[in-house]
Amino acid sequence: MKRVLVTGGAGFVGSNIAFALKEHYENIEVVVLDNLLRRGSEGNLADLESRGISFIHGDVRLPDDLRKVGKIDFLVECSAEPSVLAGSDGSPGYVIQTNLNGAVNCAEYCREQNAGLLFLSTSRVYAIEQLKILNFSEGKSRFEISEKQECFGLSKNGVSEDCSITGFKSFYGASKMAAELVLEEYKCLFDWPVIVNRCGLIAGPGQFGKADQGIMSFWMHAHMQKKSLKYIGFNGTGKQVRDAVHIKDLVRLIIYQMENPEKFQDGVFNVGGGQDSSFSLLELTTMCQEISGNKVEVGQELGERYADIPIYVSDMKKLKSVCDWKNELYIEDILQDVYNWLLDRQ
């Protein structure tokens, strides 16, 4: 690996990948391209520079911005409008152009360069109505997935790649899904490595959380600042469940995938924390209280939020059948690391 481009590389995931690549390989040149749309990303520029990573202010929607980068061996596409609420205000132009056209521009650039491509997709590609069919019961602190499931792709381990993608899924999910479909064509026709990871929640140090993206960081920050929070939808109980992968675990997987692309050419791969690294908002509140020492008021909003789902947990059987990767860090580790990072930044 001589020269790698990380698009969206000033963001949470991209910057962590750029740092890790620079650390892992002695003679690598890492270039980051980002339009700095996400607030907070500009805060990573000094760190990138201090580690010898070049930064280009550019936009994946513009093919010429990518071409300015020159020769590369691999591209990790982390640029995105990553909010599930994006476009729900009636203006989906940006989310579609960045997540779909941007990814296609990256693929085209990789084809020209004969470079490998790793694309970060999302669990949000699965149809919402399908995810809502998952049988679950209401436990004391969370919704719990039932043993018995009746639909293809759903099991007590969560959601697998076989789950249906047909149906409403948000502009975020739809634009990522459309990009996945185009990348599949590039992979088949041009026979070069394209790896697609469908990620559940990714969390850890370096994430500038918002209510609609980066929930662990957002929740912990609110506790540290003693700001009130709300449980939205699902009767305001806070029992909705997600799984989370620590950014360090994800980066470890990505480096392995870049080194062994041939193992990951058969379709797409769910990547997440799985059942062992899952949590409900209610449980998150308790953990944040314990770590920060602060208790904040958590109100209720009964109306369900656009495109929300009661449970998402990644079933990673397929990923684990092709490699030995497994999560080494779990919810408590992630939250502690987020707390330490926020404390440091205060």
- Smallest gap from residue 209 Cβ to ligand NAD (A): 9
Tokens in use for 316? 């990673």
Q: Is 120 in the site for ligand NAD (CB under 6 A)?
A: yes
Q: Is 8 in the site for ligand NAD (CB under 6 A)?
A: yes
Question: How far is the CA of 30 from the CAs of 108, 213, 247, in angstroms?
Answer: 20, 26, 19
- Smallest gap from residue 90 Cβ to ligand NAD (A): 19
57-65, 152-160, 227-235, 319-327 -> range binding ligand NAD (CB under 6 A) = 57-65
Q: Is 221 in the site for ligand NAD (CB under 6 A)?
A: no
Q: What are the backbone angles phi and psi of residue 93, rounded to the nearest 5°?
A: -55, -50
Task: Out of 102, 116, 205, 274, point to the residue binding ligand NAD (CB under 6 A).
Answer: 102
What is the DSSP track for 242-279?
Answer: EEEEEHHHHHHHHHHHHH-GGGG-SS-EEES--GGGEE
- Can you tell me the distance from the alpha carbon of 28 to that of 128, in angstroms, rounded to the nearest whole number? 41
**Positions 20 through 49 that interact with ligand NAD (CB under 6 A):** 34-38, 41
Is the CB of 76 or the CB of 222 nearer to ligand NAD? 76
Is the CB of 29 or the CB of 34 nearer to ligand NAD? 34
Torsion of CA 20, 253, 250, 161, to 10 degrees: 150
Is the CB of 81 or the CB of 249 nearer to ligand NAD? 81
Is the CB of 222 or the CB of 271 nearer to ligand NAD? 271
- Can you tell me the distance from the alpha carbon of 116 to that of 261, in angstroms, rounded to the nearest whole number? 8
- Smallest gap from residue 194 Cβ to ligand NAD (A): 15
Query: x-or-dash pattern for ligand NAD, window 166-205, by CB under 6 A?
Result: ---------------------------------x-xx---
Q: Is 14 in the site for ligand NAD (CB under 6 A)?
A: yes
- Can you tell me the distance from the alpha carbon of 131 to that of 115, in angstroms, rounded to the nearest whole number? 35
The residue among 243, 265, 248 whose CA lies nearest residue 159 is 243
8-state DSSP, 218? H
Contacting residues toward ligand NAD, per CB under 6 A: 8, 10-14, 34-38, 41, 59-61, 78-82, 98, 102, 120, 122, 199, 201-202
